Structure 1
Amino acid sequence: MTDALELSALAAEVAREAGALARRRRDEGVTLAATKSTLADIVTEADREVEELIRARLRAARPGDGFLGEESDAERGDTGITWVVDPIDGTVNYAYGIPSYAVSIAAVRGVPEPDEWEALAAAVFAPAHGELFGAARDEGAWLAGRRLAVTAETPAGALLATGFGYDPATHDGDLATVRSVMPMARDLRRAGAASLDLAYVAAGRLDGYFERGLKPWDFAAGALLVAEAGGAVTRIDTASARPMLIAGGLDVHARLSDLLSAPLEPAQRGEGS
């Protein structure tokens, strides 16, 4: 049987190396780019280069595993384990020099579909901050050797985070969603990297998080962090083009779920008429 702690250790090691490469390329981009378009080209190359490094390291360590990444073709393995990878989560932040970006690596067992897989291990590394969040199934989540725990009480209201899609057609629906949850909110954050938002929920830095339209690599690692820190993560409206992911401590998750489970019009889901 695959050891989740071993997978977690491998994910952490590879995430650190990949994060160091991403940060080097970010520094070189700032130095070399004369225009925004050039910087965007550098970022695109960095995404691909970082994913290639991750894929090569994982293949060398576990040659029979599958791979599902943002920047390259999926690869089915024969071990039942698939690595779900976002090489640079928060690419726009990365391009602009905002330090909220991360390398996200998860190992899952079973069919590589979010509603069917069993998450085993996770690493989310924020290179600009030097923080590595890790988790192993049934072994907890941690940061710098400290066990993580979601917040249990929010007497002043919940500090929530969310994200918006890049398609302008989805913005009205996303803003309507924000309005629907503000009665329970202390305030709202929108940092631009789903894996870090989820890691911060696991660490108690945020009380809850919700977002539509995430891809599997956006949340595979972060969702396990939250679950292993004692929280809950669910997806609703999964038949739509933009399912909603909800994460938080048990009370916040329940309240968010109640507020966000009301049926939405297609325009609110960003699907058009």
Structure 2
Amino acid sequence: MTSPALARPSDTELLTLALDIASEAGRMIATAREGTVTVADRKSSSTDVVTQVDRDAEALIRHRIAEARPDDAFFGEESGGGEGSSGLTWVVDPIDGTVNYLYGIPHYAVSIAVVEGPADPAHWIERVGVVLNPATGETFTAVRGGGAFLGDRALSIPTPPALDQALIATGFAYDAELRGRQGAAVAAMLPRVRDIRRLGTASLDLCNLAAGRVDAYFERTLNPWDHAAGGLVVQEAGGVVVGRGGNAPSREFLIAVHPDLLASVEDLLDEIRA
């Protein structure tokens, strides 16, 4: 029988556990980066790489969760899913921004979310999110209904500028043909906005929006682990995270933005066939 204490933890307890696990994984990842990091395998394409550190970090995270919350489900980028009976699922990306990590670019993150329900954005309810950058030490957190934070600083997305003054973040798919179309769409967008940023880590792109560092973010072909934690940070900072036409975010599309800028961004994306 599932223990009531395990089945119904407080969000504060879940956040504390997620922070502890992310911090431990982050230390391991940062230490490994002091040595030589190489490609261990390729996944969906020749540019979609994984390092052994990705795998080791997810194994550590999965083990720590299983120790503390054996009845919870797990869904990770590297090792897939695991069944649970508590109604909670841990959605994990051990190193979001693996290519940045591989090259030593200090823009990558451990992303850990706890959701109620399955690892499906159309059906889950995000409860806790942690996004930690091991290279800089920045840690973003959010609890459903409890706000979003960068360290101890509460986050609130500022009132956005007009679209032509907006700084837009995006990312590209691994599929070569789709990347070509995305590049053409970005070229069409550039004259219509302040500028474009492509930093290579979806979870941190979302958190940058929550921190007011960009004004909007959109991307295609994201997986649940890419945006589960960062998406909650955006929502708790006052933003919206949606797919096209108000649907839930999915591999087809994700847009994150202040509500006042959503319609303008959607119209532009339609115009440029993004």
- Give the alignment's TM-score, normalised by structure 2: 0.87
Does the 8 A contact of 1:90 with 1:193 survive in 2?
Answer: yes
The 1:254–1:183 alpha-carbon spacing in structure 2 relative to 1, beyond 3 Å, is farther
| 2:90 aligned residue (72, 83, 89) | 83
| 1:70 aligned residue (77, 89, 99) | 77
Q: Deviations over 1:69-107 (max 9, x none)?
A: 000031121000000000000000101111110000000
Is the partner of 1:161 in helix, strand or coil?
strand
Does the 8 A contact of 2:141 with 2:151 survive in 1?
Answer: no
| 1:128 aligned residue (127, 135, 154) | 135
- 1:177 paired with 2:185, answer yes
Deviation at 1:183, TM superposition (A): 5.1
Give the residue type in structure 1 aligned to 2:228. Answer: A
- 1:219 paired with 2:219, answer no
- 1:254 paired with 2:263, answer yes
- Tell me what 1:44 maps to: 51
Question: Any residues of structure 2 matched to 1:86-125 within 5 Å, and which?
Answer: 86-125=93-132
Give the residue type in structure 1 aligned to 2:237. Answer: A
Deviation at 1:259, TM superposition (A): 2.3
Unaligned runs of 5+ in 2: 1-7, 42-49
Deviation at 1:254, TM superposition (A): 2.8
- Tell me what 2:65 maps to: 58
- Tell me what 2:253 maps to: 244
Does the 8 A contact of 2:189 with 2:272 survive in 1?
Answer: no
Identical counterparts, % of pairs: 48
- Tell me what 2:152 maps to: 145
Deviation at 1:171, TM superposition (A): 1.7
- Give the alignment's TM-score, normalised by structure 1: 0.87
Is the partner of 2:266 in helix, strand or coil?
helix
Give the residue type in structure 2 aligned to 1:126. Answer: N
Q: Distance in 2 between matches of 1:259 and 1:9?
A: 40
Is the partner of 1:28 in helix, strand or coil?
coil
Deviation at 1:184, TM superposition (A): 4.6
Give the residue type in structure 1 aligned to 2:27. Answer: A
Deviation at 1:256, TM superposition (A): 1.4
Give the residue type in structure 2 aligned to 1:41. Answer: A
Deviation at 1:208, TM superposition (A): 0.8
- Tell me what 1:36 maps to: none
Deviation at 1:19, TM superposition (A): 0.8
Does the 8 A contact of 1:158 with 1:252 survive in 2?
Answer: no
Q: Distance in 1 between matches of 2:111 and 2:226?
A: 8
Give the residue type in structure 1 aligned to 2:111. Answer: S
- Tell me what 2:44 maps to: none
The 1:117–1:261 alpha-carbon spacing in structure 2 relative to 1, beyond 3 Å, is farther
Q: Distance in 2 between matches of 1:106 and 1:180?
A: 35
Deviation at 1:28, TM superposition (A): 1.8
Between 1:111-120 and 1:178-187, the stretch displaced more is 178-187
Is the partner of 1:164 in helix, strand or coil?
coil
Does the 8 A contact of 1:84 with 1:105 survive in 2?
Answer: yes
Count, aligned residues: 256
Does the 8 A contact of 1:180 with 1:259 survive in 2?
Answer: no
Q: Distance in 2 between matches of 1:167 and 1:212?
A: 11
Q: Distance in 1 between matches of 2:272 and 2:120?
A: 24
Does the 8 A contact of 1:159 with 1:207 survive in 2?
Answer: yes
The CA RMSD measured in Å over matched residues stands at 2.1
Q: Distance in 1 between matches of 2:199 and 2:109?
A: 12
Q: Distance in 2 between matches of 1:262 and 1:69?
A: 35
Q: Distance in 1 between matches of 2:251 and 2:80?
A: 22
Does the 8 A contact of 2:22 with 2:130 survive in 1?
Answer: yes
Q: Distance in 2 between matches of 1:260 and 1:215?
A: 20
Is the partner of 1:133 in helix, strand or coil?
strand
